[in-house]
Structures are given as structure tokens and as C-alpha cells.
Amino acid sequence: MSKSKGSGTRALKVRVKTGGKRSLSSKLWLERQLNDPYVARARREGLRSRAAYKLSEIDDKARFLKKGARVLDLGAAPGGWSQVAAKRVGAPEQGKVVAIDILEMEPVPGVTFARLDFLDPVAPEKLREMLGGPADVVLSDMAANATGHARTDHLKIMALVELAAEFAREVLAPGGAFLAKVIQGGTESALLAALKRDYKTVKHIKPPASRQDSAELYLLATGFRGGGLNGRRR
């Protein structure tokens, strides 16, 4: 690696030499990681990922992670969102955070983890039991595996978000919130219409920690209107 020259107090930028051992895409990804202030901050503060700051920044404005709340984190690994949620709801003393993923995840203080696919038919009932009732917040920072084809990748992630939104309807308490990552691409109308029927407020948010060159956005739906299995279990 080498560092480019700078002037004044401007931080030096880390450059990665490929040496014929790395592809251009991996070289660019590594350079971006090494020069990302959120990545460096996450390391200093003991957070699992830079994505933790996205949730923090969204909640700083929307204030839906309240003390004592029950939170379900879908696709939680490596655990950055779960760390933030646990701190903000006061888990485990006040609130409760349950994290699930199809991959293993290192333990997070205050968080209960289950290796579970949210599409498993037993998932809604099992997770309500783990939470001790319906969820107040369902979080989803999930993204489908990329194919490299922008249109295909957009459709895949939107299909995943739609499934997560349907799942949230089964486990949320009335008044609850749903936050999910989406990708800009113009096929969100059906999802938005469904969310607007189910929630009082639905809006797009792009937190500062979300890279400006990224097509990702977050959909925040608050004020769940209830119905189905939720609510009656509280």
C-alpha cells in the first residue's frame, strides 16, 4: 500500500497496489474501506459494521427505538444493527432484542440470537415467544446476493423487502415500526401502497452514513395499524 500526497491538514488517502494479485474491483473495494471514516470509527468504537451508524442516524431523527421496546433484527449478522438497538432500548434490563440470521453470529451483549430463516413457517410464532410478545420494531438491513446485473439485483432485493414487510405484519404490535433497506429503481409502487395501507406514516430516508454513490435507501414505516395475529398476543 502507499499513501497519496496531501497538503495542509487534509488526511492522506490510502492507495492499494494490486501487484497482479487483486482484481480491479477488489482493489477499489479495499481502498474504499481503508479510506472510509465510518469504517475507522466503527473499529474504534467496537461496532461490528459501519452499517450501525445508518441505524443510529435514522433513529436520531425518527426516535422509534424507545426504552423498553421489543425489537426483531432480521438478517442481523454481523450484528451492527443489533448493537445499536440493544443500547437504545436498554436491553436486556428494559427492552428486548432478538436477532436472527441464516448465518452464525458472534454473541452481542443484551441480544438473543437464533440461527433461523424468517421465511420458515414456524418463525413468526417462535420469535413472538422469544420476544415475550409482539415486536414493537422490525429491522431489516438484508440484501440479496448480488449478480452484478443492476436490474436483476434490484428486483431480488425488492422481493426480499416485500417478504420482510409481509413477515412484519405477522409479528408487529399495533403502533409498531418497520425499517428496511431498499434499492432505487422504480418498482417500489406496490410495496409503498401496501405499507401505506398498513402504517400511518411511510417515508424514504438516506442517512449520512449511506454512501452517496450507493443506490440504497431505507424505508421507514411507523404507526402499524394492526390486524392479523399481532397485538392480540400482548
Question: Mapping DSSP to helix (H, G, I), strand (E, B) and coil, where does residue 76 land?
Answer: coil
Q: Which one from 181, 196, 200, 203 is the annotated catalytic residue? A: 181
Alpha helices in the chain (DSSP H): 24-34, 37-45, 51-62, 80-89, 123-131, 150-171, 189-198
Q: Using alpha carbons only, give the angle 199, 88, 38 rounded to the nearest 5 degrees.
A: 100
96 is catalytic: no
Would you state the torsion angle of the CA atoms of residues 31, 33, 140, 78, taken in this order, to the nearest 10 degrees? 130
d(CA 17, CA 127): 47
Q: Residue 90 is which amino acid?
A: G
d(CA 59, CA 65): 7
Could you tell me if 198 and 221 are in contact, meaning their C-beta atoms sit under 8 angstroms apart? Answer: yes
Could you tell me if 111 and 98 are in contact, meaning their C-beta atoms sit under 8 angstroms apart? Answer: yes
User: Residue length, the chain?
Assistant: 234
**Which residues belong to the active site?**
181
